[in-house]
A and B are shown apart, each in its own frame.
Chain A
Amino acid sequence: MPQFFPRTANSIIRLALLAAVVAIATIAWLGALFVRSPYEMGQQTPRNQPVPFSHQHHVGGLGIDCRYCHTTVEKSSFANIPPTHTCMNCHSEMWAVAPVLKTVRQSYRTGKSIDWLRVHDLPDFVYFNHAIHVHKGIGCETCHGRVDRMPLTWQANSLTMNWCLNCHRHPEDFVRPREHVFDMDYTPPRDQKELGAKLVREYRIQRLTSCSTCHR
């Protein structure tokens, strides 16, 4: 069969080979991007809660301290989600009949817990402890973002292991004076490097990257 292949076959086969290579590379690259994407990490997406609770209003607007609701944040690994009772402290008086708070009142009446949706959710094999981080001068905002500007709360950071390690390796870039831990609008000073270094010494912050620091 003389000259079975047309002249175009040359370009076709070469393009095909090239395309294969490019395709594989692209897929790998896109995959890598995807697993790091805010979407995949569940970042920046406000969660719909049974009660449309607004940190923006309560923290930003009314200026309620984090610890008013998250009572155990300084004492325990778990920062605590406020019991219905805490809501009713105020809402038995104000907005006492607002339809938006129906669920809360119902919960208070029936004693059934409000079913909040978890926003910051680490895998079960990760053991994070709020108390120690707060104690060492890591601000709420450092991990949770400007909650005071969130009408509905979302996850501000990726919470990947990389992200954790970044701070565990360079605490001096993130640590702040203890008195500012609960400030939402704290802006690190220009000399954060020096201040950080100083606080790291003062608070005896260790650079803990052992596996058992978080995985047990």
Chain B
Amino acid sequence: MSPNLLYAIALEFDSPSALVKATKSVRERGFTKYEVYSPYPVKQLDEIVPGTDPVPLMVLSAGVLGAVTALVMEYYIAVYEYPINVGGRPLNSWPSFIPITFELTVLFAAIAAFIGMLCLAGLPLLHHPVFNLPEFARASSDRFFLMIEERDPMMEIVEEREWLNKLGALSVSEVESR
């Protein structure tokens, strides 16, 4: 098959430990463009696989936005849009405005967390080269995959490719980029 049709080399493992070990060595070897797939979050990978986590920041800022929105809305409506004497209470009865402020804070933050995560992960993404690999179906059950992408500069070196076969994977297969 012609290399430009190749997306990545897939190494299949049957245990998290094997996966972690392989990923470590791949990294030490100097590979950069690789991704690891597991049926559940494997803690150790977080240290190995590079990447940041901006979700908390998104949530925080959205929360602040929510709080401000709520307060401004309530104050504007009660004091400016239709100032009216309700039960002899002052127009700006701010203590009564707190609950809604809290709720909107949470609402905005929660939505940010959800949408933020999807955007970061680039989901929804129904079509992806990895699905070309039939075995990948088990990645959501009991198999662990390490995929070194074709665009990794190291992949051009033939030795390195062969080196991958020595990592003790159950199987090493090529993933087409159709």
Contacts and interface: CB of A to CB of B under 8 A. Distances in A.
> Direct contact between A and B in the complex (CB less than 8 angstroms)?
yes
Nearest to B132: A3
B129 to A, nearest CB: 8
Centre residue among B127, B134, B178 by max chain A CB count within 10 A? B127
B126 A5 contact: yes
A17 B127 CA distance: 16
Contacts of B84: 209, 211
Among B125, B126, B137, chain A packs the most CB atoms within 10 A around the CB of: B126
Nearest to A5: B126
B40 interface: no
B136 interface: yes
Interface of B is mostly: loop
Q: A interface, how many residues as a size bin?
A: 10 to 19
Contact of A7 (B124, B127, B134): B127
Interface of A: 1-10, 13-14, 17, 165, 209, 211
B124 A3 contact: no
Contacts of A5: 126-127, 131
A9 B127 contact: yes
Interface string B24-64: 00000000000000000000000000000000000000000
Interface pairs A-B: 6 shortest CB-CB: A5-B126, A9-B126, A3-B131, A5-B127, A2-B134, A7-B127
A186 B125 CA distance: 66
B133 interface: yes
B131 A4 contact: yes
A1 B84 CA distance: 65
